[in-house]
Amino acid sequence: MIRSLLIANRGEIAVRIMATARRLGIRSIAVFSDADRDAMHVAMADDAVRIGPAAARESYLDQQAVIDAARRSGAEAVHPGYGFLAENADFAAACEASGLRFVGPPPEAIRIMGAKDAARQRMQAAGVPVVPGADGDELNADPLAAAADVGYPLLIKASAGGGGKGMRVVRDPADFESALAAVKREASTAFGDSRVLLERWLERARHVEVQVFADSAGSTVHLFDRDCSVQRRQQKVVEEAPAPDLPSALKERMAAAAVAAAEAVGYVGAGTVEFLVVGDEFFFLEMNTRLQVEHPVTELITGEDLVAWQLMVASGLPLPKTQEEIRCSGHAVEVRLYAEDPASGYLPATGRLDRLMFPDDLPGLRVDTGVRQGDVVSPHYDPMIAKFVAWGADRDAALDVLARGLAAVRVHGVRTNLDLLRSLVTDPALRSGAVHTAWLESEASELANPPLAALTLSDLARAALAVVLLRRRTRSGDLMLELGPMRLNASVMERVTLEVDDETVRLHVEHDAEGYRVVAESGASVSGSATLNGDCLESTVDGELQRDDLILDARSGAPALTLMNAHGARTFRLADALAAALDRDEAVAGSLLAPMPGQVVSLMVAEGESVAEGDVLLVLEAMKMEHSIRAPQAGVVSAVNFAVGDRVEEGAVLAAIDPQ
């Protein structure tokens, strides 16, 4: 067996690989950029080596820096995880040339399957059905004609892509050329390869994949299937195994095709063959020549450690089980918690994780993460915070475990998709299995932007009680972050003024040793008792017990108090501290603010130009994806504050428009 392993990755997957390495007695070596010096994966490793600055292309994507780190640390092998260099054939070859074992397939298999156009051709030759499309000379000779032959809607996809990046759906021929240019730019930035291919966009297909494994002796097996149909922008949101409600005969045909696909390229190690399923037909989509983000659902239904399998195969050992010995038990579902804003087109978010709490004692729930409370979600890397994976005896049981687990999650400091995930796992359509790859964006878009729950007197009362209790820990009338056990006592009446949901609310709180009564301006009131234990408010409002986790943020000019519970979070501000924020809003009226940190990659306008509402003014690249900044109104561009190549911070004024 391998005795020392360098993990050429970061975050959750690096931590995941290290856990297996530690169990097997393998020395683990982390690599880190300047941005990750204090990261969780660095702290967990036996050794760690710096490989460069924060930018991925100067650190985690620097092949020579990674190989040099492996040599200096005495590593015998390199595990690439997923992302970064995981599907880079040149890197796999360079590892082998340096005397390092690459924990993955042979370079040639990566090269064939990594180039989506070459993979299509190889699969057709192997008799595996593929999605109708165009690539290579046919596409390059006349892109518009090739697109017309494929038919609309169609998908433009980076030949070397993956992870939902470098993809655009085009429905109107008028949008084809601009989308083609955008995908080529994204592909070049994210994968160093601007080649693309076209595929027919199958509107209501299911995305089903098969986990395969092969050893160097020529044995190839599958570990059943997974359904990844719930997606946004071609990136998976919910993954489950086995795929529900598919005929066993169809599953057997797909599994056989997946094994044939692996054997057609001389595959070794872990891989995933992805298909689109329409009715009783399936079509080869691509093969991921690495460990998948969603591999835990397969681990939970089979009881196998896929990373251990990878390390055994990379050590030259045979597969630990034959096809007949691999068993499937129960059902598993996984969701990914991201720092992103679903209501704003899933824009990535950055910031400090002021609060991060996961359930740690829920039977059937597994949490994989690479961050801790207090860590910073950086603009340089993928914004995934954690994966929640639930197992149950059947699908409903697994979803129930997942729902309970998500209800117990507390995260604050960055925008996340937590509310979306909570809604998804209880949604009737998802529960029934009536989903497809376009379902979330076309039929369930309201889940990404749910209406804010109506503000109740109970909400206001709990916020007012938190303020009153916090005041008991004040000095000179200023809010402090120190919280401790405290009960309301001594008969007192206090006034609390809150700003919430663009409304100023004034409340009176009457309290004594027996409890409290909160009275609104309308005269309505609620009563009960409350205790502040650490950073948790436990209150009874008209007989209903509620537990709220509190976050007090006094860093800005407007101190904010956030109450978080299983139903979501709501933030209240002290009204007399809002002046600074209101002044800032006036200062940027008519301006376009950067929604996230990034780099300007394209600029379409100049000062003095007239624009219409919705016109694209510039394009930002952030986290390997492009985001178009559009004019919110018609007018004349009065300022352009950045040039192509400039880096911008979140909230920076990119440009300004004088309305017509």
Specify the pLDDT at position 343.
86
Question: 31 near 51, Cβ under 8 Å?
Answer: yes
Specify the pLDDT at position 581.
35
The per-residue pLDDT for range 619-630, each reduced to its tens digit, is 888 766 677 888
Of the candidates 538, 492, 486, 485, the one whose C-alpha atom is nearest the C-alpha of residue 512 is 492
Give the separation between CA 540 and CA 538, rounded to whole angstroms: 7
Specify the pLDDT at position 350.
93
Tell me if residue 290 is catalytic.
yes
Which amino acid, 322?
Answer: T
Alpha helix (H) residue ranges in 327-417 = 395-407
Specify the pLDDT at position 166.
87
Give the chain's residues under pLDDT 50: 474-485, 576-589
Specify the pLDDT at position 583.
37
Taking the CB of residue 63, how many other CB atoms lie within 10 A of it?
16
Of the candidates 304, 308, 270, the one whose C-alpha atom is nearest the C-alpha of residue 290 is 270
Give the separation between CA 255 and CA 242, rounded to whole angstroms: 12
Domains of the chain: 4-103 (3.40.50.20), 132-200 (3.30.1490.20), 206-447 (3.30.470.20), 457-579 (3.30.700), 588-659 (2.40.50.100)
Question: 167 near 224, Cβ under 8 Å?
Answer: no
Question: 447 near 343, Cβ under 8 Å?
Answer: no
Residue carrying structure tokens 């390997």: 624
Query: Cα 249 from chain centroid?
Result: 33
Of the candidates 275, 278, 290, the one whose C-alpha atom is nearest the C-alpha of residue 210 is 275
Specify the pLDDT at position 619.
87
Specify the pLDDT at position 138.
84
Q: Label the pairing between strands 355-357 and 351-352.
A: unpaired
Specify the pLDDT at position 623.
61
Q: Report how far apart, in Å, the C-alpha atoms of 389 and of each of 364, 411, 441, 637 are.
A: 8, 18, 23, 48
Sign of CA dihedral 89, 93, 98, 101: positive
The per-residue pLDDT for range 528-574, each reduced to its tens digit, is 888 888 789 999 988 889 999 998 776 655 678 899 998 888 999 87
* Torsion, CA 81, CA 87, CA 88, CA 89, rounded to 10: 120
Catalytic residue among 120, 290, 336, 366: 290
